[in-house]
Structure 1
């Protein structure tokens, strides 16, 4: 899959694609990342990409024309027929969730637009953007971190990227765990700062270990994200033993 990223700061992505376990996805070509700078498509000696907002107000607004020219070049370079998703990272976008990450991870990729300053000329958004994505109810100084978050989430789902193929199956929000949050994890030594490891994890009893982990997922999810419990319940994913655990913790 290929992601073309339109950003005024392409240098931010160099260490990102070369670091951590997800670099395997980029090095192998499973996830191709191509960077484009709208400034390269701006006119005039100063290659200006922003201007003051009509109506006044603080900050600057990214101009439509350099973005449109840059986007056209990215789409042409992809050389693919059909509609290519063009994604803008924005507070008004759809929240990025595990389900949507899975869809993107199985797609052919997209063009990712990283906004800056006070925003982007709405005419460009109206005419060229097909999807808007939000990381949450907060504002970043630009879309680069959001783009990296999507790329990282997609890359780690590619075959062979994680050391253990089962790793992502145990992630929080994964349908394989009924959409619950993950359980706590422990490693050596058995004693650290006067704290031990829960006995079930030392038992060697597979069923006991799995029941302990399931109980932890249930109680943590009920405490932190109760709406996920309701969603699992509505989908018929909770059994009698699960409900007993939840009732006991109330």
Structure 2
């Protein structure tokens, strides 16, 4: 599925393994990828542990689905979410599902949805097991949703400019020492480059997301893949006219 196309998204939230505090940011993030049609949150709402969910659910028009815990220690909400997911899948009305959870128990569900050629977003915390992350097409870390790229202050001062430049240099050096990151970026450029060694940064980003669903440039301080390629300082940069704007092309300086 084309990542840039508008999707009809069904959002299913495991309230017992998610935080109500990030719901607004999660919905805003998912809205960038398409139209959210279904929003459901599953949990035992009689539990004191979910008492703070009421207001965010109302504010965001999320439908709470009550599921009593019939046996202590067993999560009945998981089963309810999975059953609803399969019903929604068989309705053939949705292009993508977003599973909001940090629970690896939904790994099989994510895999099953992908088998039906449904695009799967996973949204969870850093503690989310690798199995569930890998089962999704795109895994979004909630810790990164509120991270904003540094913006230039309205009025520059020599001191502030020097401080920002130093911070940028330090960040660049730190990224260059991250062998896994450097290899990931360079491999993506090599795989998608033309005969002259130039590759479109956004295309490289799409390849990286297919290979590593939980890779997010915001984890390294940049909002987008083009900004990350530009900021790490390992690639020659070229901006080319594309449609009504410009596209960033990169070439490995080692080539």
Whether these two folds match at TM > 0.5 is no
Q: Using CA pairs below 8 Å that are at least 6 residues apart, which structure has the higher relative contact order?
A: 1
More strand by share: 2
Rg larger for: 1
What's the TM-score, normalizing by structure 1? 0.37
